[in-house]
A = this chain, B = another copy of it.
């Protein structure tokens, strides 16, 4: 079935600013609270949010096999369970409804009133209930930088890294959408030179520039997903800020991996951009340095050319872009990650989320964490307001953005994930 929604020549009757991440060729999916305090599934074109629940009730999805309440839910999980064919039918239909030549909704004011919302009339929610969240570690530059800093510059990459898309389980309950602030975590750390750990606020709160993909129900317990089928089970991607407390991490992570250093929060951009929408931006992954085992051999363009950037905005000040990277730097692609994750029969379900790991590029201005940008605090990063940062300070806001653009005036973007770091939590006096 062709992805007609991607037609680059299509115009829409909705207004779309020139630099919007959401032209009619994007059509992402999200969940929002409306002015009537109702939670619904929706999409976005330009700066207009579109209530898919209302569109469906008005009959605009006639002919597509959807249950009546599929969009009247507070998560996308059930819609994602419907599978790739249905996602494509719905996205193609939405493109038709908003096509500049289609008068059906355009000229029906009653319908428009219940379907369309200004961005100031809605509040974005978590788009899915995340069952399980896995974080990979798939940027060779990032793994090399971390290995150089903390282990041995001559053997920065561990022996398994080129053979395995290394990953580990993360915490679902603390994944939150953009705009929800995060408290600086407290925890145990071992100060430099100390023999005993101390307890207190983390002094090294960091972001990690990642993207995450969301899956549909992929397999049953015991059944691996072959690499060539992996993309059938990927619904789409979001920007992902994997908040990290480096001092807590250093003390706790041997031998079972990061835990409290990571699970205090992970922030995502709220619109899921579908794999279909990203199709025109496919690209090769970096050439493998060694041939992986057969179950990890990936054919064709399985990576995506997605420009990424990170900015820090101190309180009451302007933002400074401190890193520009690209998703295409990932050594291991999503198909390899999903094939690896399931090769032992581990079940993957609708709404599961898989992070890429920090996406660092080859140059120092493309590193994806403060740990790398400030080289563990040795080289503070200068901001436009004259201040410096080794790590993130209280009341700083971290903003990540991402978009694809090639041969067209428009771009396909992710919007942003924007999170303020609050001071440590103060319990209310009883």
Contacts and interface: CB of A to CB of B under 8 A. Distances in A.
B169 A263 contact: yes
Nearest to A253: B255
B137 A222 contact: no
A341 to B, nearest CB: 7
A185 B223 CA distance: 10
Copies of this chain, how many? 2
Query: Interface size class for chain A?
Result: 35 or more
A219 to B, nearest CB: 10
A255 B158 CA distance: 8
A169 B260 CA distance: 10
A372 B251 CA distance: 27
A254 interface: yes
A140 to B, nearest CB: 15
A295 B344 CA distance: 39
A164 interface: yes
A341 B169 contact: no
Given A169-B170, A186-B343, A197-B163, A425 B263 contact: no
Interface string A221-264: 11110000000000000000000010010011111111110011
A309 interface: no
Contacts of A252: 160, 164, 166
11 contacts: A163-B197, A164-B188, A173-B347, A174-B346, A185-B344, A187-B343, A224-B425, A224-B427, A260-B340, A264-B346, A265-B345
